[in-house]
Structure 1
Amino acid sequence: MMREPTPACQLADAHCNLCGAGMREAHDALCPVCASSARQRVMRSVFQALPHGLLAWRTLAPAPAPHGLDERWFAGRATAPDLALAEPADVVEALDRVSARGVVYLGGDGAALAGLLALHCAPCSVIAMDVADPGSPARLAASLLLRDGADAARWLPYLQARHGQAAVAARVVEDPFAPLRAELACWEAEELECGLWWRDDDLVADSPALRRLAALSQRHAAPVLVAVIPAQADAALARATEDGMPTLAFCQHGWNHTNHAAPDQPNGEFGAAREAVEAEADLVRGSERMRELFGERFMPVMVPPWNKLAPALAARLPALGLYGVSQYLSEPYTPVDGLVRVDTHLDIVDWRNGAGVREPAALVGRLVAILQMRRTGQLSEPIGILSHHRVMLDGTWRFLERLLAVTADFSCVRWLHPRDVFDESTSMIQKEAQCAA
């Protein structure tokens, strides 16, 4: 039977709530009998506030440690004499691995934790508390992460009754992908096929980040067009990508990713400021290097660094053996005979914040707006997602992983191979030309 919330009791003497031993030691001192820390005593205090019936699901948890608490119930690193906020990946991993309904996290304030979880696409409910250590005068920040919002509403009054209403607050971290799910449901209802494709820029060498990219691509059957900087690539990269990375295709990312623009102009390697002869020579050198390194895996597509390409150079690409170009949707464009342009539409890296993590809700909002344009005929090309594996932080990787997982839930979504993207665009251009004739 579930009991009613009980008011917090005021102990005359400090006692360890794990073994009952008296304590008069300094902050975070170990219990002289059971060796529990302030962190462990606070966690026990949090769960003691809850009726046993609410915790019945924890009987399925692994056997607890000798002090009666399972360390997997919470996350966060303790560094004497203070408890520090855990690394973002630690908190998100804690929420990922919890198989029941919640996990305790100690350290940091609840508002910062909620913001962190939102940035890492981890929807849940957060109950943030300021809890007194039964064994010392110290108070510690503690948070409960709960997947089910109904659990948070049910647990909140018991925790407020035990620790004080002002010391306990609940926040909801919304699922940033909910609008995307709603839009893709419209595609399915209208029996439309949603074509997406993926481009990743700035490859120069084998790395753990590249292998993470390749594994993610293969796991979700989402091929990637990887733009390689030819001057900085070598045979070691070609060998490393030859086996075990079947979902990657390779294209040319300029020559050396060197800025040739004037100081007061946007960065660009192949902008209008360069001498045409010099620029064309770099493009030819780059194409030759790409064919030498990647052979048939090289797609003759040019991705200009910083997405800037002078119209005069664009017009010369087919003569130089480059039949495709990929920039960003907002860049100006003049059609060129024999050249197919397929742009990316969503750059998931926040370049205005030092290659930081963009707000997932803002990214999803932009993607939904582009999907709506495509669904209503305002946009004709497949929607391109742009990543940069070399600089991406954990939050950006997590967004990408969640995006791939969400789209996998909808049969209308198809992640296109880059070759199909450019082939289909070529066919579309030819059809439009025939109609015009």
Structure 2
Amino acid sequence: MTPARDAFLSELDARAAAGRPLVLWLRDDDAVEPTPALDRLLGLMGALPLTLAVIPAATGPALARHLAGRQAVSVAVHGWSHRNHAGPVEKSQELGAHRPAATVLAELGAGARHLSALHGDRALPLLVPPWNRIAPGVIAGLRGAGFAALSTFGPQARAAGQGLAEVNSHLDIIDWRGTRGGRPAEALWSEALGLARMDLPALGVLSHHLVHDGAAWAFLEDLVALTASHPGAVWPGVARIIAKAQDPGS
């Protein structure tokens, strides 16, 4: 137990008493094929909904076969190839303004069709930009390319007025600028508490199963154990969150 975890649990208790459960969803990036780490994630989540952001150019039938029968798992389009097209002094971007928007959108459309052919209804019209970065000109063309929703990182809106639902991730469990492993649990619980108090439509947890160390797995396991059956938290799945964003009265 940590003070921040205790405070987060108290927040859930208060939400349960008020009938306002915290809406949670998990987005795990960079899936391409079956691995022991993916199996560990699937086992950890159990029957809870999980969204895998899959890199279309790098994936094939093996992953689709591996996920067969797992009704709680959905698949999102994670760019096309997760290739950086930015310059050497820029932040990494695949979907930036470095290429014509029409070129980028053609790749994304091909990626969506590829995942749909592999995964059927499991594949959602949801785009997850690699590195969570995307040019406004690309966003403007997403509806025409067949996408209904966009997921980046943080509470800010990027697709306002574009007819897209936004279902962002907010809590990244990986320390990318330091150990490149799991962030300290106390820091994560403290951040989760702050996010819960923002009354977001849904709090998105971001993971990357391929780089998880013991700390990352331990936090995710603790979060799931704490919230899976708590009346102050719900895991409706991203498809339902998207539907709610598209029709708030639903």
**TM-score w.r.t. length of structure 1:** 0.55
Alignment: residue pair count: 249
- Report if the CA contact (8 A) 2:228-2:235 is conserved: no
Which residue of 185, 194, 199 corresponds with 2:27?
199
**Aligned-residue offset at 1:334:** 3.8
Residues 264-285 of structure 1 show CA distances to partners (whole Å, capped at 9, x for unaligned) of 2211100122222321221122
Aligned to 1:333: 158
Residues 166-217 of structure 1 show CA distances to partners (whole Å, capped at 9, x for unaligned) of xxxxxxxx46521211211221232322211111110011011111111111
Distance in 2 (CA, whole Å) between partners of 1:275 and 1:339 is 21
Distance in 2 (CA, whole Å) between partners of 1:369 and 1:205 is 35
**Aligned-residue offset at 1:409:** 5.2
Identical-pair percentage: 36
Q: Does 1:416 align with 2:242?
A: no
Which residue of 40, 50, 68 corresponds with 1:212?
40
Q: Does 1:396 align with 2:216?
A: yes
Residues 381-432 of structure 1 show CA distances to partners (whole Å, capped at 9, x for unaligned) of 111111111111111111001011112352121111111010011112xx6x
Distance in 1 (CA, whole Å) between partners of 2:217 and 2:156 is 26
Which residue of 315, 319, 322 corresponds with 2:144?
319
> What amino acid maps onto 2:25 in structure 1?
W
Distance in 1 (CA, whole Å) between partners of 2:245 and 2:94 is 26
Aligned to 1:181: 9
- Report if the CA contact (8 A) 1:195-1:416 is conserved: yes
> What amino acid maps onto 1:241 in structure 2?
L
Aligned to 1:223: 49
5+ residue gaps, structure 1:
1-122, 124-173, 432-437
- Report if the CA contact (8 A) 1:198-1:222 is conserved: no
- Report if the CA contact (8 A) 1:225-1:249 is conserved: yes
Residues 321-348 of structure 1 show CA distances to partners (whole Å, capped at 9, x for unaligned) of 1111101015661413331111111011
**Aligned-residue offset at 1:365:** 0.5
Query: Secondary structure at the residue paired with 1:238?
Result: helix
Q: Does 1:276 align with 2:95?
A: no
Aligned to 1:300: 125
Aligned to 2:182: 357
Q: Does 1:291 align with 2:111?
A: no
Which residue of 225, 229, 232 corresponds with 2:58?
232
- Structural mapping, 1:5-20, within 5 Å: none
Q: C-alpha root-mean-square deviation of aligned residues, in Å?
A: 1.6
Residues 36-68 of structure 1 show CA distances to partners (whole Å, capped at 9, x for unaligned) of xxxxxxxxxxxxxxxxxxxxxxxxxxxxxxxxx
Residues 123-173 of structure 1 show CA distances to partners (whole Å, capped at 9, x for unaligned) of 5xxxxxxxxxxxxxxxxxxxxxxxxxxxxxxxxxxxxxxxxxxxxxxxxxx
Aligned to 1:95: none
- Structural mapping, 1:34-183, within 5 Å: 123=1, 174=2, 177-183=5-11
Query: Secondary structure at the residue paired with 2:144?
Result: helix
Query: Secondary structure at the residue paired with 2:245?
Result: helix
Distance in 2 (CA, whole Å) between partners of 1:279 and 1:324 is 17
Residues 217-244 of structure 1 show CA distances to partners (whole Å, capped at 9, x for unaligned) of 11xx32011100000001111111113x
Alpha-carbon spacing, 1:412–1:331, altered in 2? closer, same or farther (3 Å): closer
Query: Secondary structure at the residue paired with 1:318?
Result: coil
> What amino acid maps onto 2:190 in structure 1?
G
Distance in 1 (CA, whole Å) between partners of 2:23 and 2:168 is 13
> What amino acid maps onto 2:29 in structure 1?
D
Query: Secondary structure at the residue paired with 2:206?
Result: strand
Larger mean Cα displacement after TM superposition, 175-184 or 400-409: 175-184
